[in-house]
Amino acid sequence: MGTTLVYHEDMTDTRLLWDDPECEMECPERLTAALTLLQQRGLEQRCLRLTAREASEAEVGLVHSPEYVALVRRTQALSEAELRVLSAQYDAVYFHPRTFHCALLAAGAAVQLVDAVLTGAARNGLALVRPPGHHSQRAAANGFCVFNNVAIAAEHAKQKYGLHRILIVDWDIHHGQGIQYIFEDDPSVLYFSWHRYEHGRFWPYLRESSADAVGQGRGRGFTVNLPWNQVGMGNADYLAAFLHVLLPLAFEVTGRASLPSSILFLDTPPPPPRLLQFDPELVLVSAGFDSAIGDPEGQMQATPECFAHLTQLLQVLAGGRVCAVLEGGYHLESLAQSVCMTVQALLCDPAPPLPGPLVPCESALESIQSVRGAQAPHWRSLRQQGAATVLSPSTCSPEGSPPPLLPGEPTCEAAAVLSSLLDWPHLRPTPPIHVAVTLSVPAATLALPPGVRPQEGSAPREETETWARPHESLAQDEALHALGKLLFLLAGILDGQVSSGIAATPAPAAAAALDVAIQRGLSHGAQRLLCVALGRLDRPLDLADDGRVLWLGIGGEDVAASSVLHASVPLPGTTGGFLSCILGLVLPVAYGFQPDLVLVALGPAHGLQARDAALLAAMLRVPAGGRVLALLGEESSPQFVRTLACALQGEAPPNLGPFLMASPEEIQALQDLRVHLEPRWKMLQVAGEAHGQQRP
Ligand code: Q9C
Ligand code: ZN
């Protein structure tokens, strides 16, 4: 099951026929630039190619009024002067005689993509379309958008496949108010959008783009707006938004009680709480790349690689069913590179490292805090973390008409930064082998998926013995044999032959094997090694404190031990606690540290089920750029190894099963540790300094 690319060259037909500086950026070259780079990088050839078809009247009618569709149909026969007059009736829209055809193809492509993924013909995919869709409304074109492609695709998924939990992630830099309006009272569609807002001074100047617009009626809590109040948001800000806002909500499957008004009558017994859950069955991405560096509209700083990370983080949801549909993106080079990064991530290639230190800016943290505050009444995972702070009034748009937009021209300096960041190639090549597994049982027993290879090779006997010598537990033949394989695998990862791997060791030798793996990794040139140790595995005492090794213990006994390079938490006993641990601790620290190798060691009494381990591995794989070595006991079941191997390969981990909210103790333990680590690992922050919660 691969990645689908849906396209039709007719979508380059529509273009602006007259002078209009506001609209000229939405040009046919957007599609050709993206497609050409996809071809040059050999990515298009790796996808299942689908030729877009026109959406049917019924499909467009899922979202738009018949009168509006008829009006757009009539534009085919209008003269240029008439097109101009009609265009002027909408905000930032142009019509062309081919607009109707293109808009039908764009909507059709989105529907086809959803069909391919929901019938199992493809795992995920991208529809490369114009005109874009997310601003368009039931009876109105807006912001270059004619038909709302993503909204139509979501309605289609609901009607034809009976889905009732769809996540729409709108990472375009404009607020997709069209999607928000269409689903604002619909709890079966969670709409998340971040957007340039500048306290309401940026187009489309809507109050309802602010964080306190959370949806209506039964849909309350299913509209999530994250307004950016400054330009220049970058990789750290976008990742923080995913880790601290979007993903906690997307994962939450909760008994959110919605209280009907009858509860106000105290003599009637309250009805049982309606269970609202969100754990999406499908992820649709309104994939606009005007949020990337260089874009004249967005004026943001996120580099193209960031979109590989965002895409891969989403792939842990909904069994990996991610359908991305192009929206905006007006800097041709930045757009093309970002599209390539998205497709590469959909194809499960490891994500390239992100440039620069990852520290979210103060304004981003204020925005994140305000949306967490606004959403806290609707989402228990947010409420629990004690971040339900009062919505800062500064994030609401001012009353009355919006102040004029301040022009923001890219400076010469920004242009230089951009050209160096967009300089290609600066990536390591994708290793030929995706996942290698050292085996103690015949390969056939494991029924490994394609892409996962059994590893037969071993380090030379003498080398293995040298590394084993200081450790009594590695003296036995069996342990020595396992260590030889582990060393071989580790070298394969560090040399770029293998992306990730699983190495099995006899349980009594687990701690020693991990110690050797760390030392060997360092001597092999690893600059930053993140070690996530589960169960009874103590940090080796002689570990150099030179900043090259970061140790995160989960469920060990040294719970008290804590420095910025050595932190431990008890193993959460609930799904909610485990998720908070991954999203609120492990990933932010991993992103802050930017390791070149991650060791995940499952020691004695690690307590993880296969699906927990798979989720941890699938998510750590993203900041690790794929380079994860999992160490586990030889007694691990074939099923466990197989599940873990699939996750390391980039497949979505299995569902976590019945969702249990984190216990207050689990939350407290995490909170204490975060407070302690935050000064060093800024990606842990969920609130701005000025309005932050009181430190205990
Ligand atoms: N300089 C999409 O990205 N112009 N539409 C705003 C502010 C309209 C953007 C003017 C931008 C529409 C799909
Ligand atoms: Zn946009």
Residue 270 or residue 146, greater confidence: 146
Do residue 462 and residue 397 come from a single domain?
Answer: no
| Shared-domain flag, residues 664 and 572 | yes
Evaluate if residue 442 carries a pLDDT over 90.
no
Residue 552 sits in the same domain as residue 483: yes
409 lies in a domain? no
- Does the C-beta of 577 come closer than 6 Å to ligand 1? no
Q: Within 13 Å and on the Cβ side, how many CA atoms surround 338?
A: 33
Query: Which range (313-327, 372-386, 676-690) has the least confidence?
Result: 372-386
For the segment 230-235, the average pLDDT, to the nearest whole number, is 98
Q: Which atom of ligand 1 is nearest to the CA of 288?
A: 3
Tell me the Ramachandran region of residue 333: left when phi exceeds 0, alpha when psi lies from -120 to 50, beta otherwise.
alpha
Residues 384 and 451 in one domain: no
Phi, psi of 71 (to 5 degrees): -65, -45
Residue 328 beta carbon below 6 angstroms from any ligand 1 atom:
yes
Whether residue 343 has pLDDT greater than 70: yes
**Whether 358 and 445 share a structural domain:** no
Does the beta carbon of 92 sit less than 6 angstroms from any atom of ligand 1? yes
Q: Which domain range does residue 325 map to?
A: 3-258+271-402
The verdict on the CB of residue 327 being under 6 Å from ligand 1 is yes
**Which residues lie closer than 8 Å to 604 by C-beta, 6 or more apart?**
507, 510, 535, 536, 537, 633
Is residue 73 a part of any domain in this protein? yes
| Residue identifier of the C-alpha nearest atom 10 of ligand 1 | 203
**Ligand 1, closest atom to CA 144?**
5
- Tell me the range of 264-273, 311-320, 684-693 where mean pLDDT is highest: 311-320
**Average pLDDT along the chain:** 90
Name the residue with tokens 């609930």: 574
Interatomic CA distance for residues 299 and 288, integer angstroms: 14
Clarify whether residues 335 and 201 are in a common domain: yes
Closest ligand relative to 132 C-alpha:
1
Would residue 136 count as lying in a domain?
Answer: yes
Residue 258 has pLDDT above 70, yes or no: no
User: Does residue 172's CB lie within 6 angstroms of at least one atom of ligand 1?
Assistant: yes
Query: Helix or strand or coil: residue 422?
Result: coil
In a shared domain, residues 440 and 367: no
**What proportion of the chain, given as a percentage, has pLDDT over 90?**
78
**Exactly one of 8, 101, 135, 309 is catalytic; which is it?**
135
Q: How far apart are CA 497 and CA 495, in angstroms?
A: 6
Ligand 1 atom 13 nearest Cα: 328
Stretch 393-407: mean pLDDT, rounded? 36
Ligand 1: residue whose CA is nearest its atom 12 = 143
Block residue for tokens 């609202």: 276
- Using pLDDT thresholds of 50, 70 and 90, give the confidence band for residue 417: low
Residue 165 has pLDDT above 80, yes or no: yes
Q: Which residue has the higher pLDDT, 7 or 424?
A: 7
Q: What is the DSSP string of 310-353?
A: HHHHHTTSGGG-EEEEE-----HHHHHHHHHHHHHHHTTPPPPP
Establish if 117 belongs to a structural domain: yes
The total domain count for the chain is: 2
Q: Atom of ligand 1 at shortest distance to CA of 174? A: 3
Report residue 564 as tokens.
């910025």
Alpha helices per DSSP H over 603-687? 610-620, 638-648, 664-677
Q: Tell me if 266 is assigned to some domain.
A: no
* Nearest protein CA to atom 2 of ligand 1, as residue: 328
Residue 380's pLDDT band (cuts 50, 70, 90): confident
* Residue closest by Cα to atom 9 of ligand 1: 143
Non-local CB neighbours of 413 within 8 Å, separated by 6+ positions: none
| Higher pLDDT among residues 411 and 567, named by residue | 567
Paired tokens of 26: 């939405």
Catalytic residue list contains 8: no
Which are the contacts of 482, defined by CB distance < 8 A and separation ≥ 6? 438, 440, 503, 504, 505, 506, 509, 513, 634
Q: Looking at the domain assignment, is residue 421 inside a domain?
A: no
CA 664 / ligand 2 centre spacing (Å) = 41
Q: Are residues 667 and 600 in the same domain?
A: yes
Tens of pLDDT, residue by residue over 569-627, are: 999 999 899 999 999 999 999 999 999 999 999 999 999 999 999 999 999 999 999 99
Q: Are residues 302 and 448 in the same domain?
A: no
Residue 411 within any structural domain of the chain: no
Q: Which ligand approaches the C-alpha of residue 143 most closely?
A: 1
The pLDDT score that the predictor gives to residue 560 is: 60
Q: Quick one: 373 and 460 in the same domain?
A: no
Looking at 354-446, list the stretches that DSSP marks H as alpha helix, in order from N- to C-terminal side.
Answer: 362-375, 380-384, 412-421, 443-446
Could you give the angle at which helices 461-468 and 477-494 cross, rounded to 10 degrees? 100
Q: How is the chain split among helix, strand and coil, in percent rounded to 5?
A: 40, 15, 45
Give the model's pLDDT for residue 418. 67
Residue 76 lies in a domain: yes
The pLDDT, as a whole number, for residue 582 is 97
Q: How far does residue 290's CA lie from ligand 1's centre (Å)?
A: 9
Query: What Rg do the C-alpha atoms of the chain give, in angstroms?
Result: 26
Residue 530 pairs with which residues in a beta bridge? Answer: 550, 598
Question: For residue range 446-501, what is the model confidence (pLDDT) as tens digits?
Answer: 788 888 999 889 999 999 999 999 999 999 999 999 999 999 999 999 999 999 99
- Indicate whether 369 and 455 sit together in one domain: no
CATH of the domain at 243: 3.40.800.20
Q: Do 527 and 469 have their domain in common?
A: yes
**pLDDT at position 656:** 80
Q: Is residue 307 scored above 60 in pLDDT?
A: yes
Considering the chain, what percentage of its residues have pLDDT values greater than 70? 89
Distance CA 434, CA 313 (A): 18
Q: Who surrounds ion ligand 2 at CB < 5 A? A: 172, 174, 288, 290, 328
Task: Average the pLDDT over 50-62 and give the result.
Answer: 98
